[in-house]
Amino acid sequence: MGLEVVLGIDIGGTFTKFGLVDKSGEIHFEDEISTREHATVEQFIAAFFQHLTNRLDQLDTVFHIKGIGVGAPNGNYYSGSIENPPNLAWKGKIEFVKLMEDQFHIPTVVTNDANAAALGEMLFGDARGLSNFIMITLGTGLGSGLVVNGDIVYGNDGFAGELGHVRAVDNGRECGCGKRGCLETYVSATGIKRTIFELLSEENVESEFRNIPFSKLKPKRITAMAESGDPIAIKAFERTGFLLGRSLADSVAHISPAKIFLFGGLAKAGKWIIDPTKKSMEEHLLPIYRNKIDIVPSALLKKNIAVLGAAALIWKKLDRNRES
């Protein structure tokens, strides 16, 4: 029979990472395959299947894979499709679940990566036992997963909860989505870098940032420089936290979460991003919500939350199927 696991898959623009995850959240095997090398989704799935089969044949443990969960850009839980994904060669509406099930012959489900991260926190992290919370992923962009009454909010068409594309600044920075002033153009690894360089042009202060090109600047470096007292780094976190907190205050009014979790490279800044975010959120909240909601780092910051989240997605679906 073998050890019962599910296959969690995180599809990125360059690499697709995957792992075999049991029901307790332990990852028994991890690997990755190139996403970019495959011009069509059919070629990608065939190559993925062959790669996984070859790797499993090399393992001592026998695994029984019960289902597949997939986190992907613009993954639609309702339709099982990936629709016009950014940073992928595949265009249009891709019937991804159908193609995967045709190849693997086991249940498959897909959602966007931030929703998957929220499910990972709910099954394997600090959101266990919480019915209402928000997950914010702070990577190249800003992703979000909203959980209400124990379920991800998908909305009418499967694309609800895109906080990265609410308007944070009127006539603001141009976003990759085509709009201006989206929250993720300010609150993300890319966004805070843009803020750093804006501050360098506005402020006449000494800063190590003046010697670092944009392409070399990473969130970890920004955090280290804030800790060393660099005024540009500190002010960049303050501006970033102000905008994130203000937007989160609106989200609190919508769903009244118990907690807000932060994940991603920028979330590893800890107090530097959390403190100004919390301060701004409290200032903008309706009084009945104040001092009730914690903003905390994800418990899975040091783990592969994308793979765990995708695994949580399919475990949750399998449990529901068993109950019905």
- pLDDT score at 39: 84
- pLDDT score at 253: 97
Whether 130-297 and 3-119+303-323 are alike in CATH topology: the answer is yes
- pLDDT score at 324: 62
**Contact (Cβ atoms closer than 8 angstroms) between residue 228 and residue 209:** no
- pLDDT score at 108: 97
- pLDDT score at 278: 98
Q: Compute the chain's Rg from CA coordinates.
A: 20
- pLDDT score at 177: 84
Indicate the CATH number for domain 3-119+303-323: 3.30.420.40
Walking along the chain (324 residues) 10 residues at a time, the average pLDDT comes out as 91 90 94 90 95 93 95 92 82 94 96 91 94 94 94 91 94 92 95 96 89 90 95 97 98 97 93 98 97 95 88 91 72
Domain regions of the chain by residue span: 3-119+303-323, 130-297
Buried b (16+ CB within 10 A) or exposed e, 113-128: bbbbbbbbbbbbbbbe
The residue written with tokens 């994800």 in the block is 298
- pLDDT score at 95: 96
- pLDDT score at 286: 96
**Contact (Cβ atoms closer than 8 angstroms) between residue 124 and residue 25:** yes
Q: What is the C-alpha separation between 88 and 38, in angstroms, rounded?
A: 10
- pLDDT score at 5: 96
Q: What is the C-alpha separation between 156 and 113, in angstroms, rounded?
A: 19
According to CATH, the topology of domain 130-297 is Nucleotidyltransferase; domain 5 (3.30.420)
